[in-house]
A and B are shown apart, each in its own frame.
Chain A
Amino acid sequence: MDGFRYLGGVATLELDREKCTGCQVCLTVCPHAVFAVDNDRRVQIADLDACMECGACANNCAFGAITLTPGVGCAAAIIRGWVTNTEPSCGCSDDVSAPASACCGGAPVATGEPLGSDQPQAPA
């Protein structure tokens, strides 16, 4: 994407070509064009190092042909996971005051009354 490349040789993505039916759903959902159609109409992993392990492909392959360890590629989440000895998780919906948690582009959750004055109103 735009010439951005991240560390290579680390992605956990695997494709079981025996199970692949060539439905191409993975091509649709992958935001990094990791898959490509093969000449036998199945797909192949064309660009493994572009994979950010989001899991969209495995989640939507109805034939179980794709396996990976999905997760958030976010340092704050991973450090938090190490410190608390839990799964890495971005704190954007529960702990917005966490330092340096710019995960989610600063998408914090509403506390209390969620509706602003200019909210959609039901017509009378």
Chain B
Amino acid sequence: MTESTVPQVSSTLSAADTIARWKLRWRISRDGAAVSPGLFRIGEPSAESPVIVTCNYRMTFDLVRRDLGGLDVWLLVLDTRGVNVWCAAGKGTFSSRELMLRAALTGLERYVSHRTLVLPQLGATGVSAADVRATSGWRVVFGPVRSRDLKAFLAAGMKATPAMRAVTFTFAERMAVVPVELVGAFVGWFALIPFALLGIGALVSWGGAAALIAQPLAAYLAGVIGGGVLVPALLPWLPGRALSLKGAEAGVIAGLLAGLVLSAPPLMIAADTLLAGAVASYIGVNFTGTTPYTSPSGVEKELRVALPLMGAASVLAGVLWVVQAFGG
């Protein structure tokens, strides 16, 4: 075996890579979410060069090869079925087993003289360094959380600073998932909700102005924006710790505004506020799937309290609409 049998990947991203990333972000297409697993060369690695391990989710793979630009390293890509490291580790596809299997399948030991593998820190949920060492002899070193710190980590002799070890959730990181959240609110059965709400609006405000008929739908959309955009954007500033609470707050504000803008009668404004609050609370609590700090015990606790409240608020909103329609 010679090095030339290991494909080399570019560390510069093409326009096609950018387009692929946007398709994934907006859920336009799942094609190409997975790249082929295996061993790759970045630059001209030698037998002493470090081995960096990552997953085969396209966005991750692209970021890692970009961030390794200018270095000579080996890149071992595990088959996580196109899922990012964090989730794949939780699901057990970014695992000790897959790591050892991929190292063996690619004949990695023939290319390097050392036995050290650098893994992303967030892979530690799925990979046990002790197990890998005992079973295969490979020494796992957990590198930084983010690939952009890889260069500094390697330059420092594989030492991570505390900042490299901590997950962050910056404004940019939070807003990056907004498209996914928004599209998620209109996928599958959820796509029928707007039509159902228009129908309800037409029923309760029969013969009324378009602004009245559109009330339930407007409240719903206000809730989606409250939960899907305001919650991520204002996360540190919305009072309370529970995501369902933060969502409800954002939804109440958005629903109230929607009702006022459409100059609805008081009861309908109350109904709009209730429905938007419930919808935003639901979307807000689902944001726990994206937040890197929510524990399953905590999510369970808040769901037990929040789900019945969301249901009650939605039903009450419906009652108010009907009362307004027939009483007003």
Contacts and interface: CB of A to CB of B under 8 A. Distances in A.
Interface of A: 1-8, 10-12, 25, 28-33, 50-57, 59-60, 62, 69-79, 88-90, 92-93, 96-123
A6 B293 CA distance: 7
Given A60-B130, A108-B27, A110-B82, A54 B180 contact: no
Nearest to A62: B130
Contact of B180 (A2, A52, A106): A106
Interface in B1-42: 4-5, 7-10, 14, 16-17, 20, 24-25, 27, 30-36, 40
Contacts of B241: 5-8
Contacts of B185: 99-100
Given A73-B299, A78-B300, A108-B33, A1 B83 contact: no
Given A32-B293, A52-B293, 7 more contacts: A11-B297, A28-B165, A70-B125, A103-B290, A109-B34, A109-B81, A120-B10
B91 A89 contact: yes
5 shortest interchain CB distances as A-B pairs: A106-B180, A103-B289, A71-B296, A74-B289, A73-B294
Interface stretch (B167-175, B196-204, B206-214, B256-264): B167-175
B159 to A, nearest CB: 11
B169 A1 contact: yes
Interface of B: 4-5, 7-10, 14, 16-17, 20, 24-25, 27, 30-36, 40, 57-59, 81-84, 86-91, 93, 121-122, 124-130, 142, 145, 160, 162, 165-170, 176-177, 179-181, 183-185, 187-190, 235-236, 241-243, 282-283, 285-303, 307
Given A102-B180, A106-B25, A108-B30, A53 B35 contact: no
Contact of B294 (A6, A59, A102, A115): A6
A72 B162 CA distance: 24
B44 to A, nearest CB: 12
A117 to B, nearest CB: 7
